[in-house]
Homo-oligomer: A and B are copies of this chain.
Amino acid sequence: MVDIATRVYNHAFKIDPIIRSLIDTDFYKLLMCQSVLRNRPDTTVTFSLINRTKSIPLAKLIDEGELREQLDHARSLSLARGESTWLRGNTFYGKRQMFSHTFMEWFEALRLPPYYLERKGDQYELTFEGKWPEVMLWEIPALAILMELRSRAVLSAMGKFELQVLYARAMARLWEKIERLKKIDGLRIADFGTRRRHSFLWQDWCVQAMIEGLGEAFVGTSNCRIAMRRDIEAIGTNAHELPMVYSALADTDEELSDAPYKVLADWHEEHSGNLRIILPDTYGSEGFLKHAPDWLAGWTGIRIDSGDPATGAEIAIRWWKERGEDPRDKLVIFSDGLDVDKIEELHRRFAGRVRVSFGWGTLLTNDFRGFAPNDGLAPFSIVCKAVAANGRPTVKLSDNPLKAMGPPDQIRRYKRVFGVGEQEELAVIV
């Protein structure tokens, strides 16, 4: 029986919206947004979308009109009543009322600010300018829209049957990964794959697969909408944009060298327990830890997001020992370019020495490698970052020089101020 009403209802859509909710975003964005709204509400920032994989000609693949329709649709969204209820009433990281009344009122009134889009050769220039708390919320939807429009462009050339086989293969591949992960005793792993997902529906499927396959070992998702829909934990703490913007706002080298610690001092006031996770690599992990104040060693854990992950974890373990802390009480969250081999290897090496956890991103929610003609669905490296704050450029160094961002003279200055020496170059996969 054909359901005519459904058919007609579907006809009435002008587009198939990629972003259908303001909480289809990463949990840490909301935590950081609340912090920014409290501490730096009037900062003006510019976020810019950067495709690090120039071989993918996004402007040739994606129609500009369609991209505008998707971005416009995201701008039409406001927080739904049920979403607000969930944010206000849910327990996050064991804490009730994680989000203040002030933040929630502001969020309920929010619409995403304007965007600036221009085609430059085979790439798009997509930027967002305005108040930091508003502009920062564009990052995840902008990335998800670009990623999914690229998927759709490739999929549109495939037949109905090919599509069915494509998803069957992707499901089979993910399930094989999950069966390997199942065997890791004491595994703790979360979905961090929103920003570079194949599509929303696919991410949602992947999360269900993790729930079904891993049980307790799957600790949650960074995606708030999926966490709400699947009734699981929303996961995440903070990211590079806080030290990047704080640092750009510093007036002197002394203020600059102190900025990353100022970020964590603010965070320390606001959060406790498992939310106290150090992200040390913005301007080189080694120097950051060496010069860190003692109270930071008391934090719960560290997130390793660039450089060789085993080296990063060893540095952290050494640092905790030097500061009189027992690493076995500490949480190490690996979140950079993970797939099953790497997860197995890192777990084998660090389980028991520290509390190990994994934030699995692109190769969880977007592993269609080898499945489309010309490998057209292979994941690629796209980011949306704060590039300026109050008119000054931002800088990111990280533990991999290939991930460094900012004007060359400022990169030199930051390297000097933060005492960053030689760094190992590591290929950026995703």
Contacts and interface: CB of A to CB of B under 8 A. Distances in A.
Interface of A: 1, 3, 5-6, 9, 159, 161-162, 164-165, 167-169, 171-173, 175, 208-209, 212
A186 to B, nearest CB: 24
A171 B175 contact: no
Cβ-closest 9 pairs across A and B: A168-B171, A172-B172, A168-B168, A3-B3, A169-B172, A161-B212, A165-B175, A1-B6, A168-B172
Contacts of A173: 172
Contacts of A172: 165, 168-169, 171-173
Contacts of A161: 208-209, 212
State the number of copies, please: 2
Given A161-B212, A165-B175, A169-B172, 18 more contacts: A1-B3, A1-B5, A1-B6, A1-B9, A3-B3, A161-B208, A162-B212, A164-B171, A165-B171, A165-B172, A167-B168, A168-B168, A168-B169, A168-B171, A169-B171, A169-B175, A171-B172, A172-B172
A252 to B, nearest CB: 57
A212 B159 contact: yes
Contacts of A5: 1
A196 B1 CA distance: 30
A171 to B, nearest CB: 3
Nearest to A170: B168
A403 to B, nearest CB: 34
Nearest to A168: B171
A175 B3 CA distance: 31
A173 B173 CA distance: 11
A171 B175 CA distance: 14
A220 to B, nearest CB: 18
Nearest to A175: B165
A209 B165 CA distance: 9
A165 B175 CA distance: 7
Contacts of A159: 212
B162 A168 contact: no
A220 B258 CA distance: 74
A6 B6 CA distance: 13
A5 B6 CA distance: 13
A255 to B, nearest CB: 53
Contact of A168 (B1, B9, B175): B175
10 contacts: A1-B3, A1-B6, A161-B212, A165-B172, A165-B175, A165-B209, A168-B169, A168-B175, A169-B172, A169-B175
A242 B238 CA distance: 77
A3 B171 CA distance: 28
The winner among A6, A165, A167 for most chain B CB atoms within 10 A is A165
A5 B9 CA distance: 18
A257 to B, nearest CB: 51
A168 B173 CA distance: 9
Nearest to A10: B1
Contacts of A1: 3, 5-6, 9
A179 B204 CA distance: 29
Contacts of A208: 161
Contacts of A209: 161, 165
A172 to B, nearest CB: 4
Contacts of A175: 165, 168-169
Nearest to A159: B212
A235 to B, nearest CB: 21
A208 B161 CA distance: 8
A3 B172 CA distance: 30
A178 to B, nearest CB: 9
A212 B208 CA distance: 30
